[in-house]
Structure 1
Amino acid sequence: MMMRAGQALLLPANPWFIWGTLIGAVLLNMLVHIALLGRSPWMPDFLAVTLAFWIIHQPRRIGVGTAFAFGLVIDVHHGSLLGQHALAYAVLGYLAVVIHRRVLWFDLPRQALHVLPLFLVAHALQWMARGLAGSGWAGWSALLAPGFEALLWPLATVLLLAPQRRAHDPDDTRPI
């Protein structure tokens, strides 16, 4: 695959870092859910952002099965309908795999616009599952969560790609 002009050559992603960030995102989701603002429907889903990021950037390491498993963990923690988050994350993972080559060609703001529909679909699936279970509508403020997740995309990209941007063995004689 050809690189865009000005794009940095990245080191391979460390699997320990990938899994550490996913577990950290689960813990952050759990912490936010326990806090007062956690029950608010407008709160972004940090695990969904992290899963989408790693599935787009490392589709051979993190996939739909991983997203489904983390969704079950979140379902158990939230005490929600079992499979609600698992279904949403699995569909999010599938859609991220489908667009992973296209998204990487764009700059960060356009990437955020490309992943916004993925987050909308994931939240719509959760709303539909809740509605079918009889929980009712979460309110209009729930429509803000996918937008906040898309706004978090550039920050997540900068933070999660930072360890890969360091120079491998820099010296003055090599151009790369």
Structure 2
Amino acid sequence: MPLFIYLFFFGLFSASVYASDTTIYKTIDAQGNVHFSDKANENNKPIEIKINNVFAVPNKSEVNTSQHIIEKKSFEKQKTKIIAYQANINYPRNDMALRSNNGELKVQVKISPNMLSTQKLQLYIDGVKVGKAQHTTTITQQSVGRGTHLLQVYLIDKDKQILHKSPVIRMHLLRANVKR
């Protein structure tokens, strides 16, 4: 059995070497059709085929490592640092009742890590954007109607992209009601 395997692989290897050394002949017939053959005759011409199926792996000393280091450094410069911000409404607390007869609401927000100068906070009451985005962590909103409201704050960047949304809290605004 081992002799058979040896002969099989020897024949396979020999055939591939023979095939790579075979001369190919080209013939053009009377109608202009091109034919290729491995047999010579008086009308065909041999063509040269360069077989480049072997390559050498360069040594480590031949590889331009300085170019690789430059490319790696320029790639590292392009990486941007992604910061995971957290925004939480500290005041009012969830489900808190506030008395404000004039409808003024003050919201205090805790941002971690601290906001950059290009970032702002935008207050949403009942899912609707109210007021302008602000740099401060204390947001005051006037003329808020009495009743239960849902509050949320968005941390946005200079391009108005949302960096983080605070959890939604529920608060109850109490206002005096004068009967006439």
Greater relative CO (CA pairs within 8 A, separation 6+): 1
Higher strand share: 2
What's the TM-score, normalizing by structure 2?
0.26
Higher helix share: 1
Given the two structures, how large is their TM-score scaled by the length of structure 1? 0.27
